[in-house]
Amino acid sequence: MQKKQNLVVNLTFIYLCLLALCLALYAIMQVYVQEIDRGTATNLMIWSATLFPSIALIYTFHFWREQKGSEVLSRLSEESFFKLTNAAKIHEHIDEDYRETLLKKILDNIEMVETDLSKELLKQLDIEMHRILENCHLIYKYSKDEDLKIAFNDMFYKYELYKSTRLNAYRGMKVLEHTDTKLHAIAFDKNDKNEYMKHSEVLNAHSSTLRKHMNNFSDELLKFIFYASK
């Protein structure tokens, strides 16, 4: 509604500017031209009335294109927001399954093996995250919003770090060094329960950080969900 009101205001302003230009030209002609009749003023008014529809059409077309682009941007952001909400729920289920498996390892000394449920949940999470990636690429392509790009990149990096750390628990590996360019991991003693507990602390930290970055990214998406109504 606000954008439609702005369109009417802007078109009215453009027409008034054309009228003001006609009056200014008529005034200048009266100063520098000795003989000038009212027909000249009428012609100027006709000229402004003829020119205005073309200008209005071009302006309205650009407004319409921007409006449609805003609506697409809003839909993509809304879709990504709900996918992110679903991804966060799946992530919680994966963590719950991991804790149950870890508890069995600690209490009953059962081998730390990833369950079929965990594998299926991770596949679902990957699908949601990559769909969000595709949408985010389109949103950024249209908006060029650097805050959105940074928030998503941070979230996706933490997601990949969380996945690799979680998988290491089932492989019996622990990371000695993890940077953007290299990863050094070694096997730990699978009979040492303390190793699993230490690994669990690291994984919990990555999981908590991932949730934080998911929230940050969702805040960025909210800006664009309501973009079309501004």
**Which band of pLDDT confidence, cut at 50, 70 and 90, is reported for residue 84?**
very high
Does the pLDDT value for residue 29 go beyond 50?
Answer: yes
CA 189 to chain centre: 43
The pLDDT value given to residue 50? 60
Alpha-carbon distances of 55 from 16, 29, 45, 207, rounded to whole Å: 13, 25, 15, 56
201 token code pair: 């602390």
Measured from the Cβ of residue 207, the count of other Cβ atoms closer than 10 Å reads: 19
Is there a contact between 48 and 21 (Cβ–Cβ < 8 Å)?
A: yes
Does the pLDDT value for residue 85 go beyond 60?
Answer: yes
The pLDDT value given to residue 73? 80
The pLDDT value given to residue 230? 42
The CA-based angle 200-204-210, given to 5 degrees, is 145
**Which band of pLDDT confidence, cut at 50, 70 and 90, is reported for residue 225?**
confident
Sign of CA dihedral 185, 190, 196, 198: negative
What's the burial of 192, exposed, middle or buried (CB within 10 Å: 0-12/13-18/19+)?
exposed
Does the pLDDT value for residue 21 go beyond 70?
Answer: no
Round to whole Å and give the CA distance between 4 and 75. 19
8 token code pair: 């009417």
* Claim: this prediction has a pTM higher than 0.75: no
185 token code pair: 């991991």
Is there a contact between 19 and 49 (Cβ–Cβ < 8 Å)?
A: no
